[in-house]
Each structure stands twice: as structure tokens, then as C-alpha cells.
């Protein structure tokens, strides 16, 4: 027996008039059992990079495997389309990208909860999705009951600064708007283009600036590549490895917290995730932390560990 899969659509008010002119109507891929039981957990995946919901991919294979083992119980799991022209999403409100925090908290969650009569809610994701799961959970513990942060962005100095020289070279003497228009139409981006779009996208979320032409400030000087420390300081305010101490009370309200990271993560996220774990441990935050063999990519199977953990905790 397989999970039921259906794609529904939601038209967002929060995303109206977004600066990128990204679509306001979004698809949501919904996985649910034949019989939907009231107050079953709702789990929401936040994607790491752009991707549209697909009915038959590695993610759906993992969910069906878990379902056949009765490890998903009666939970409803959704995979919304959060794509942006930056190719990344940090799941925050930004005048340079759109109000994705409002879209999730005020629109998607109430809509799906009413439609499927769900109960406790958890967010989960990898990379930027893990960052978003943590960030939204600690900001909204009254709405979110748990999260799984799979090697989410943390210790920003190790994650992003190595990409700044790449972005400096790519954008040197280029109009950023033209660069974005050109790259947003490409499906086969080079590694340097991905890293440059990453810095642009992170700027849109971490250092948005409504007075700037592009609605954001880059963290480096365009002419020299020198780090702009005032802008960089805005970025690190969002770093989970640093701001976790500000959210101790919120974290203690959550029913389920799962963290993991690969020992060979290519973005050195084993440093940030270890720091996040240690600070939670020091502050008596109940959570599960695992370091696994592997790197940053092709790790959808990690959900085979985190999702049953979340569902069990949310069902208690």
C-alpha cells in the first residue's frame, strides 16, 4: 500500500507584489494515508534549493518506505513550492524576495490544518531548509511544535565567506539585475553561478535594504571584494550557532528537536551543527543529535531517521 499523493494549489496574499515577481500561486504536494485521523501530526518540508513538487522522486520513495513500515502513523506530510529567482529561500520575510515567513505561518499552516484536520506541526529540511525549520520554530513556538534541522546553515563564517571571492569575480563589472535575469532562466548552472546566486540570495534575506535599488546590500565591496563588516554583522544575527542562546525559552516549549550533519560536509557545517548541539545541551534543551558518515548532498535518506522521531514525539 502506498501513501496517497495529491497536488493542491494555494494563492498567497503574503507573496503579492513581491520584488522578484515570483508566482503568488503555489503548488503543494500532499502525502496522506487513506484514512485521515483528526489531530494527526502535520509535517512540512522546506526545500534546500529550488525545486517543484514531484509525485515520484527520492523524497516520495522515502516516505512510501516509511509508510509501509507504519513509521509515519497517520501523519500528513506536505512539500510546498518555495522557489525564488535567487534559487534559494531562507524562509523569512524580505522586501527583496517576498514574505515567506508570513506565507508559511499565516497561510499554509492554517489552510492545510483546516483541510486535513491536523494537530501538532513540525518543520523539516536540509541545508537552507534546515535553517528555515530552526528559525521559524524558535520564532513561533506557539504554532510550531518541533523541527528537524538537517545540516542547516550555521557558523556563517565557514559557510558563506568562501563564496564571497567567487561572487566578487562573477559580478565584477556586471549589472546584478542582468545577471539575475540571465541565470534565473538557466537549468544547468555552473558551480560558480550557484555560489554567486547563493550570496545574492542570502543578501536578499539577511541584509535587505528597501532604500537600495535591488532591495539588498551585498556583504562585500564591489570594486575590491573587501568584506563590509557592518553588513556582515547583520548576517550573523541570523546565525543559529550564535543566536540559539536568545531562544532558550522558545526551544524549551518544543516537543521535538532533531539535528544532524555529515562528518564530511563540504560547507563545514559539522562545526556549526556541533556548536548548536553543544549550546542546546549546555542549556538543558532536550534534543536528538547525530553525526553521520557522508557529506552535504544526496542525503534524503536522513529523513528515514528524523521523520519517525518527529512523529513519535508529536503524537505523545
CATH number at residue 298: 3.40.50.1820
CB distance 26 to 9 below 8 Å: yes
- pLDDT over threshold 80, residue 205: yes
Q: What is the pLDDT of residue 1?
A: 58
Q: What are the tens digits of pLDDT across the range 15-43? A: 999 999 999 999 999 999 999 899 999 99
What are the φ and ψ backbone dihedral angles of 182, each rounded to 5 degrees? Answer: -65, -50
- Average pLDDT of span 53-71: 86
CB distance 310 to 124 below 8 Å: yes
- pLDDT over threshold 80, residue 302: yes
214 in the same domain as 69 = no
Q: What is the pLDDT of residue 316?
A: 86
Q: By residue range, what is the domain housing residue 215?
A: 158-236
306 in the same domain as 274 = yes
- Average pLDDT of span 283-311: 96
**Site of grid cell 536578499:** 204
151 in the same domain as 25 = yes
Give, in degrees to the nearest 5, the angle at Cα 181 between 208 and 203: 20
Number of domains in the chain: 2
45 in the same domain as 65 = yes
216 in the same domain as 91 = no
- Domain boundary pick from 236, 256, 276: 236
146 in the same domain as 162 = no
Share of the chain above pLDDT 90, in %: 90
Cα 192 to Cα 53, 115, 165, 169, 183: the distances in Å are 26, 42, 10, 9, 11
10 in the same domain as 102 = yes
120 in the same domain as 69 = yes
136 in the same domain as 163 = no
Helix (H), strand (E) at residue 14:
none
114 in the same domain as 29 = yes
- Domain boundary pick from 178, 205, 236: 236
Q: What is the pLDDT of residue 56?
A: 67
Q: What are the tens digits of pLDDT across the range 129-178? A: 999 999 999 999 999 999 999 999 999 999 999 999 999 999 988 999 99
253 in the same domain as 131 = yes
249 in the same domain as 104 = yes
- pLDDT over threshold 80, residue 303: yes
Q: What is the pLDDT of residue 58?
A: 85
Q: What is the pLDDT of residue 53?
A: 64
- Domain boundary pick from 197, 212, 236: 236
Amino acid at each position: 500500500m502506498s501513501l496517497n499523493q495529491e497536488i493542491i494549489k494555494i494563492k498567497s496574499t503574503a507573496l503579492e507584489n513581491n520584488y522578484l515577481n515570483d508566482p503568488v500561486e503555489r503548488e503543494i504536494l500532499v502525502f496522506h494515508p487513506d484514512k485521515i485521523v483528526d489531530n494527526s501530526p502535520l509535517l512540512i518540508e522546506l526545500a534546500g534549493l529550488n525545486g517543484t513538487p514531484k509525485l515520484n522522486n527520492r523524497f516520495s520513495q522515502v516516505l512510501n518506505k516509511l509508510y509501509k513500515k507504519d513509521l509515519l502513523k497517520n501523519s500528513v506530510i506536505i512539500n510546498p513550492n518555495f522557489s525564488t529567482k535567487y534559487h534559494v529561500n531562507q524562509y523569512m520575510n524580505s522586501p527583496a524576495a517576498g514574505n515567506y515567513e508570513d506565507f508559511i505561518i499565516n497561510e499554509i499552516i492554517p489552510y492545510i490544518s483546516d483541510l486535513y484536520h491536523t494537530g501538532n506541526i513540525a518543520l523539516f529540511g536540509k541545508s537552507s531548509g534546515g535553517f528555515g525549520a530552526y528559525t521559524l520554530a524558535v520564532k513561533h513556538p506557539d504554532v510550531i511544535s518541533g523541527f528537524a534541522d538537517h545540516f542547516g546553515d550555521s557558523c556563517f563564517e565557514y559557510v558563506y565567506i568562501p563564496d564571497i571571492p567567487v561572487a566578487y569575480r562573477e559580478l565584477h563589472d556586471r549589472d546584478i539585475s542582468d545577471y539575475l535575469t540571465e541565470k534565473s532562466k538557466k537549468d544547468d548552472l555552473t558551480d560558480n553561478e550557484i555560489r554567486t546566486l547563493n550570496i545574492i540570495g542570502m543578501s536578499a534575506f539577511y541584509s535587505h535594504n528597501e532604500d537600495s535599488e535591488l532591495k539588498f546590500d551585498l556583504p562585500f565591496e564591489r570594486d575590491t571584494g573587501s568584506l563590509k563588516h557592518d553588513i556582515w554583522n547583520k548576517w550573523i544575527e541570523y546565525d543559529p550557532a550564535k543566536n540559539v542562546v536568545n531562544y532558550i525559552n522558545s526551544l524549551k516549549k518544543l516537543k521535538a528537536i532533531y539535528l544532524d550533519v555529515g562528518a564530511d560536509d563540504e560547507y563545514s557545517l559539522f562545526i556549526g551543527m556541533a556548536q548548536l548541539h553543544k549550546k542546546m545541551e549546555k542549556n538543558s534543551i532536550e534534543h536528538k543529535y547525530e553525526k553521520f558518515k557522508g557529506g552535504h548532498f544526496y542525503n534524503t535518506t536522513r529523513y528515514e531517521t528524523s521523520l519517525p522521531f518527529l512523529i513519535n514525539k508529536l503524537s505523545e
